[in-house]
A and B are shown apart, each in its own frame.
Chain A
Amino acid sequence: DAGVIQSPRHEVTEMGQEVTLRCKPISGHNSLFWYRQTMMRGLELLIYFNNNVPIDDSGMPEDRFSAKMPNASFSTLKIQPSEPRDSAVYFCASSLLSQANYGYTFGSGTRLTVV
């Protein structure tokens, strides 16, 4: 398996522009998570899906952020409009959750810079 695939790896955009980050989870995994990492705040959970349904989006900073999971093999995180404070590394992770506990597999992340 190729693991969790995120694209793009790097994104530089101007303030006010729309940004879309993409994630392909591991095939067969039923949960997907979006995290954001900054030096100041560390790793923060933004939202997670279970069986393509958003379960908890309390970590989404504000209405400018939205996430979708139209099917089991694809998710997007959109920021519109983007602001310089959104600059961070965004990670996607997937897992197979059942009665037992499984580790999460993280992607390589998207480094977003908003200028």
Chain B
Amino acid sequence: DAKTTQPTSMDCAEGRAANLPCNHSTISGNEYVYWYRQIHSQGPQYIIHGLKNNETNEMASLIITEDRKSSTLILPHATLRDTAVYYCIVQSGSARQLTFGSGTQLTVLP
């Protein structure tokens, strides 16, 4: 029972913004949206999370629609090192564990 739907793969030109979509139409009021990424052969890396407001940190921006049924992770200036699998995860704030889906393979092209 996947809570999120992501495209299997995406390409992005180096230096351009990478916009990674995620659908979570069944999200509940107390569930957060988390984004992680996994670069080949490394452990997953936390990027950002949000509840309903848009969030920005040094890595990325998270845009959540007003109805909270979808979100977009934005990498403003993608580099080759951003090539990775990006996971969108919906989880209750009181939950302790993260459940990973299949994610989106983002390839940044030179």
Q: Which residues of A contact B (CB under 8 A)?
A: 4, 31, 33, 35, 42-43, 45, 48, 50, 55-56, 91, 93, 97, 101, 103-109
Residues in B46-92 with C-beta less than 8 Å from chain A: 46-47, 49
B45 adjacent to A106 (CB under 8 Å): yes
- 26 A–B contact pairs at CB < 8 A? A4-B43, A33-B97, A42-B100, A42-B101, A43-B44, A43-B100, A45-B97, A48-B96, A48-B97, A50-B96, A55-B96, A56-B97, A91-B44, A93-B43, A101-B32, A101-B49, A101-B93, A103-B34, A103-B47, A103-B49, A104-B36, A104-B46, A104-B98, A106-B43, A106-B44, A109-B42
Number of interface residues, chain B, beta carbon within 8 A: 18
Quote the shortest CB–CB distance from A47 to chain B (angstroms). 9
Is B9 part of the contact surface with A, judged by Cβ < 8 Å? Answer: no
Query: Which of B32, B36, B44, B47 has its CB near the most chain A CB atoms (within 10 A)?
Result: B44
Is B28 part of the contact surface with A, judged by Cβ < 8 Å? Answer: no
Partner of A107 from B43, B49, B99, B102 at Cβ < 8 Å: B43
CA distance A56 to B99 in the complex (A): 13
Quote the shortest CB–CB distance from B14 to chain A (angstroms). 26
Q: Which residue in chain A gives the minimum CB-CB distance to B47?
A: A103
Give me the 10 closest cross-chain CB pairs, A-B, nearest first: A103-B46, A106-B43, A43-B100, A106-B44, A45-B97, A91-B43, A48-B97, A109-B43, A107-B43, A108-B43
Apart from A101-B34, A103-B49, 12 more pairs, CB < 8 Å: A4-B43, A42-B101, A43-B100, A45-B99, A48-B96, A48-B97, A101-B32, A101-B93, A103-B47, A105-B46, A106-B43, A107-B43
